[in-house]
């Protein structure tokens, strides 16, 4: 994993913006006495930020056939997983104790079908004081969990794996993209769902 600066980064914070670097022994999320704290981002300037994450659901061939054919007994897996992911992005701060409550101003969840897997791609956007990486990862994770819940009756060995950040833009550090990360694009097998 490496950072790759790009020249086309969206608006970022001014160079002179104050940073909250105080904490116990240099740990940003610990106060001077060692107790947990949420980093104070009040003085930061809101900027346009985005993040894209993925998760993978490993499925048996018969489950993939039921998914792409729309015959899963519990109903429309794609719609349920998509809404679950979007809802999760908006509730990230309720799940992660030190995450900031920020405005999620845009969220998408898309799918690509492979021979033995469904790739879930979640993108979140904000114009706020801190990034939306955890919101994107939470969206991808919960969309995957919703998919597992919908198909587990067909195959108990269904597996959620590979949750990772693919890209983030904006903020002080600008743009970062995971080396070798494939660009998100809808699979023909699930084009109507992606």
Give the model's pLDDT for residue 59.
97
d(CA 20, CA 27): 11
Question: How much is the CA Rg of the chain, to the nearest whole Å?
Answer: 19
Confidence category of residue 50, pLDDT binned at 50, 70, 90: very high
Which of 38-42, 131-135, 183-187 is modeled with the greatest confidence?
A: 131-135
d(CA 193, CA 169): 26
> Pick the residue with more confidence: 186 or 160?
160
As annotated, the active-site residues are: 149
Of the candidates 127, 121, 130, the one whose C-alpha atom is nearest the C-alpha of residue 167 is 121
Confidence category of residue 16, pLDDT binned at 50, 70, 90: very low
Confidence category of residue 76, pLDDT binned at 50, 70, 90: very high
Confidence category of residue 2, pLDDT binned at 50, 70, 90: very low
Confidence category of residue 23, pLDDT binned at 50, 70, 90: low
pTM: 0.77
Of the candidates 191, 189, 192, 194, the one whose C-alpha atom is nearest the C-alpha of residue 68 is 189
Of the candidates 71, 92, 193, the one whose C-alpha atom is nearest the C-alpha of residue 142 is 92
């Amino acid at each position: 994993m490496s950072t790759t600066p790009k020249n086309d980064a969206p608006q970022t914070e001014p160079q002179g913006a104050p940073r909250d670097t105080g904490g116990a022994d240099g740990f940003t999320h610990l106060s001077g006495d060692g107790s947990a704290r949420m980093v104070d981002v009040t003085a930061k300037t809101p900027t346009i930020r985005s993040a894209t994450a993925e998760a993978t659901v490993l499925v048996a061939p018969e489950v993939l056939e039921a998914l792409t054919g729309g015959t899963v007994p519990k109903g429309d897996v794609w719609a349920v997983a998509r809404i679950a992911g979007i809802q999760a992005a908006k509730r990230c701060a309720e799940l992660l104790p030190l995450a900031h409550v920020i405005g999620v101003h845009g969220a998408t969840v898309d799918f690509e079908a492979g021979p033995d897997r469904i790739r879930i791609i979640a993108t979140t956007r904000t114009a706020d004081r801190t990034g939306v990486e955890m919101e994107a990862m939470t969206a991808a994770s919960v969309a995957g969990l919703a998919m597992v819940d919908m198909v587990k009756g067909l195959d108990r060995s269904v597996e959620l794996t590979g949750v990772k950040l693919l890209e983030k833009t904006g903020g002080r550090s600008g743009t970062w993209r995971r080396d070798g990360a494939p660009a998100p694009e809808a699979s023909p097998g699930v084009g109507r769902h992606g």
